[in-house]
Structure 1
Amino acid sequence: MATDASNVKVYTVNGAAAGSSSSLPDWLTRKRAAKGKGKRAVREHVEGTIELIQGFEFPEASIRVKTTRDGHHVIATGTYKPQMRVWDLDQLSQKFERHSDAENVDFVTLSDDWTKSIHLQNDRTVELHTQGGFHYRTRIPKFGRSLAYHFASCDTYLTASGNEVYRLNLDQGRFMTPLTLDEGNDGEILGVNVVDINPAHNLLGFGIDGNGTAQFWDPRSRSCVGVLRLPRDRLLSYGSREDNLSVTAISSRIDGLSYAIGTSTGHTLLYDIRAAKPFAIKDQGYGLPVKNVCWIEGGSRMAGDGMVLSADKKVIKIWDRNTPASNFASITPANDLNDVHHVPGSGLLMTANEGIQMATYYIPQLGPAPRWASFLENITEEMEDQTTRSVYEDYKFVERNELKTLGLDHLIGTPALKPYMHGYFLSLKLYDTARVIANPFAYDEHRERMVREKMEKMAETRIRTKKEAGVKVNKSLAEKILRDQEKAKQKAERKARRKAASDAMEVEEHGESDQEEEEESRPTILSDPRFSKVFEDPAFAIDETSREYALLNPSSVAHAGANRGKTAVEEEEDEDSEDVSDDDDSMGGSDSESDGASSDSSAEGELTMFDPRSRPGQRNIRAEEAYQRERAENRKSWTNSKNKKASMVPMRPLAAGQSQRSGDKNATFGQRRVPQSSNNNTMNAGSRKTSGAAAAADAPMEISWIPSSSGNDGGGEEKFKSGSAKSRRKGVESFGAGLERGVEENADVAESERHGRTKRRTGGRSGSKNVFRRMDK
């Protein structure tokens, strides 16, 4: 697993991956450690991670890690239980482990290999270890913080709380006079955090806690030769606002002139021993105390010499001393750091952290692989084309919402789900099974979508003739919008022509023309890019067969139903209705009269017509214009038929076996229903009267009444008188329930009021023709 930041690859060869979500959590590591035996555990272990050193871990956490000077062993301390472990790098495996009574604070090796070492414990004890095991134990007056070994004098310098540095001489086997650090005018010394011995001239450097200074002592004269004061104002302005500024890490370069000093504010300062001001400052960015600083020397291929490593508990940064603003590489471990060690002359870093596994990182551009791990170069070359994994090899991270979608939320609290951050770890096999059950067609849908996208991409590469972009969906809506726009445009033109003829309304005309120009310049739904998907994306297609569409557009649904094809039953009913209408024409008069009389009734009773009561405050201009045209035709046909007479004839029953269509076609419906025997006996008047009376008594009557302006009676028609002589006006005829005909229209009446009523009748019958029928029961 590798991270690639600033084109510098960082490979994780042990432990948790740097900055990767695929890092193995502690519970998974414990589980595999418990199942350490068996082929399956070995297979998972090999396929899941790369382990450079086998068993490079501690039961709980690691504190310090270092390599021996000969480069053949790694020594590390950790917990719990407090212990020291040694790994043989030639065999890439653990050599032994050794337990102690207290946790380790710091240690150094006294020989070139692992056989001799001195350890500072957190219970104020100092232990000496040899190849055979624990050798000697002593105590210091105060709790220690760090130690260093001076080879020339065999003195071990132990720093602790307070202003004293204890000296344990291993040649004489006793404590020597401690070094007392002078506070001076810099403030109280709370303790000495770190000690460093320069490998070139053995100058001692002490990092002071509390006053923001670093003191340098000569081990020969055991006296202070200089005090380095950190730029307090500059550092505190960057990081913490606390008054307590401390030096937490010191590292001297092999040239004997350069020092790297880490502070409690998260800054690393580079000093030349000949100047009191730093020549470079690096900010870690988290404001946390710097735990380690070191100079990376030799072996670098592309980085060059003079690289500096600085680390707090969150991040490791490697940067050039000449350009501290940019990072050569940055590593964010999965666990908090306690210690970082760079293997000299290579690009390998070892870390001690708060996790079980100790992480090891390899940076090929920083330096070559160590001799004992030369195969890393071949492995990393093969992994250059691979990408970082997003899931475990056998576990999947799912959130609570996804878990509920899969129907596995009932497993919360069971061993099947392992809580981690804001979700859970789930077995990959169980996840795949649950996903297939939740959506069996997920793969088919994904495959179909991929094929469709590929086909669309291939279709775009074809050569086509240029054509205007049309409407893909909702074509009927687009046509309706265009029709409305055309009608609005025509109406505006007519209005403009009418007002152009009036000179008195010139000012108002100019004002409204400007308004019309503004309306024309406004974007419509078709031209507005915000609504472009309505006519392009099939997801916005209008379903004209849905109930919601029918409720919002009743007239469109009715017209669509009228235009559909007729069934066989409907065609047969239409033929019968045509035959009956042919017979009714002879009774009512000409076709124009019948059409004129019935058109008004159909117009008034049509449910798909515009009804202003259904939507108060709204107007349907198109429906109103059609309604006005139809009313004008009705009035014209009514005027042509005003002189027609109404005939009242008896309706005689139809004899058995007699066809309804027999007889004279000009006879009325009632005459055609008279029995044939009665028609044959109409020679004399007496028989005709008798048959007529019998028919009138036994058969139902048909009465058809059409108002007429003539004053004489005809065909049995009764003359109706309405109102008194005083109320009569010349040329005006009154009839019915207060109805009048022949009234002169007022020329000053508005155009909208010239066509009579504009509201729907409340009754179920037409007012233009009244027909009373008495039918057989």
Structure 2
Amino acid sequence: MSFPKVYTVNGPSSTSSTSLPSWVAIKTKSKGGPNKKKRTKTQHSTTDLELIQDFTFPGSSIKIKTTEDGQHAIATGTYKPMIKVWDLENLTVKFERVTDAENVDFVILSTDWTKTLHLQRDRSLALHTQGGLHHSVRLPVYGRSLAYHSPSADAIIGCTGTDVYRFNLEEGRYMSPITIAKGWEDGRESEVEGVNVVDVNSRHGLWSFGLDGGGGVVEFWDPRSRNALTRLCLPSSTLLPAQNFDISSLAPVQKLSITALSSHPTDGLSFAVGTSTGHTLLYDLRSPTPFAVKDQGYGEAIKRVDWLRGGGSQEDAGRVISADSKVIKVWDKADPSNNHLSLHPPASLVDLHAVPQSGVLMVACDSPQLSSYYIPEIGPAPKWASFLDSVTEEMAEDYSGLGKSAYQDFKFVDRAELDTLGLTHLIGTPTLKPYMHGYFLSLKLYTTARLIANPQSYAEYRDKMVNEKLRAKTESRIRARKDQPKVNKALAERIRRTEERERLKKSKRTKGEDENDEEDEEAESEAEAEDGEQGGLLADPRFKEIFENPEFEVDEESREFALLNPATANNNAKRKTAVEDEEEESDRSSSGLEDEDESDEDEEDDSEGSDSDDGDLGQYDPRKLKSTDPKRVLPTIRSHPRLVVGESSKTSGPSKQSTFGQRLKNSSNDHNGNNNNNNGFENDKSILAMRKSADGGMEMSFIPSSKSTKSGKANDDDDEQDEYNGGTRRKDRKIEKFGNGLEKGGEESDNDDDLQDRSGRTKRRHPGRSASKNAFRKR
């Protein structure tokens, strides 16, 4: 069952569900960024709200009431004995007036604060007006209760003894007193010691007197009659506990008295009675049997009982409020066991007043500070404090999460567990905070003491810490999504990543570029939440079949896919989704074996960049792939791509390494037929072409040579063509020595690897390698 929210708007916080001990400090997150210091809240800083200014007395308060027009509140207190009036419109004290004696009870004679009648402890009846004390009258005996009957202008004073005095304010004199407990045939009239409480029904003017003693009797009088109409005897045998009866005489040891009375303000038939044993009984004036009985549970006398008039939708919801010195309870008259509210005041309660047509309760306690509570479920905020709704919303935000975070650094232990831990010597020290049937202990101290008292628990603690660290590591790994589709997993993963990037860009664009890490995390969480709400392309029902029906599966090894995706087709054979990588890695780690082929490939990639296939232009040809499906027929490949420009057959034309001069010589031979150069240079292979110009000169294309034979021709055995510019390169190049036994040049090695290293590149250079291709060897 959930209880309504109670907000303390005046005075110290009560022991309700929202209060916390004074030694608890609540840490709250700062709103100014990560560099700001964390603030701490205590009970004093989170619960103090002063609705009415100077809502206090020097000593303690006695009675409190509000005027009929709802504009002022009047209370009496001690010490010094005084009367205080507060202006509720301005939420401040209007004036205070010191009296000659302490106040017992008072009534408000007008609709505002200007006329009040006070019953004093010095047996006086004082009439106060706007100007001050107007008149004072002495009483024959000490008074206990005061009421006012407006049709006859009689002040009814319940006193010690069996007489009830009447003072007529219109005539200014005492009227004939009323004698109660007269004519009883059971002989209990001698047990009556006085009249504790007097009530006047506002509907039909019926007087009721709650007697002190006599077994719990309420007498009813009509002001037009000189005798009692009837009396109501409470069932003392059920209200008094069994141990309070004397077995020999069957007489109750504890007497039953009436301490509170209240008539229903509207129907005139319902009647509430409070007893000295802590019970509240509800009667219908037409029946002597109570239709509801409520026990406060503490055995304290009922100080106040009233019918709640909350106003608005709670105008008359059948709720009753009863209070003793320890607790205030709000309950339903149809079901007394159903408590709507249980409220404990900070000090011993003396009087309670429920402000009509609102949800505000004013409590007079045995302390200087008067308390006020606002309960929205009982009724709305009064007109003079309409801002309470917005204020309480802010208080509710401050209270949210306090119960969870307040005690996170403490551990509750009882006395038996304290003995087991060996910490009984700390009782009475600030280390242990007494609470209910145990103590609050620092969580760090509790963990240390538990490990010392039970050494075997260290192994459990160690296993727990190890499991937590392992769990933290596994959480950082890529996890398979529960919504992973059955078909086209790679396509779904690419779509999901693209949508996440778009959402992050959009969120950063709206919030600005200058954001800290915490705001980035919030943006990511908001993006994930938005993704969960909208779903994106993957949740679109129009494309549902693509990720569920195997007939729509995309074959990334097909030629059509390679033609449509030339940039990604080169790595399709090796591409795996993150889920497949994780599954393969988990299978490998569980078996304890590593794939030797993969490890060898990784080592080769790290050691020798030349063996990698990353730069091979002819690495992947989709037309060379063999279909895994035996039913699939690949198209016939007629020819391979070849270089047309600058290439010819070996017999007819120059090779792909032919120079411009060689191609020119061949072209001249082709155009002129046989070669007519008979100048003796036809056997010189260094001369590529010769022709006569139009002006009679001669043009020649030849290859220069640094070493010539006797005939002046280059030696083909000693020279070889340069792979870059068609020149020659000397085999007997001078050997250069440098470093520690290193040399460069000399004869070329017969080793094929060396020849391969010295030859030109056949692959694209790896971007991570050096551009140098010089060969070094050690002597």
TM-score by length of 1: 0.49
TM-score by length of 2: 0.48
Q: Which has the larger share of helix?
A: 1
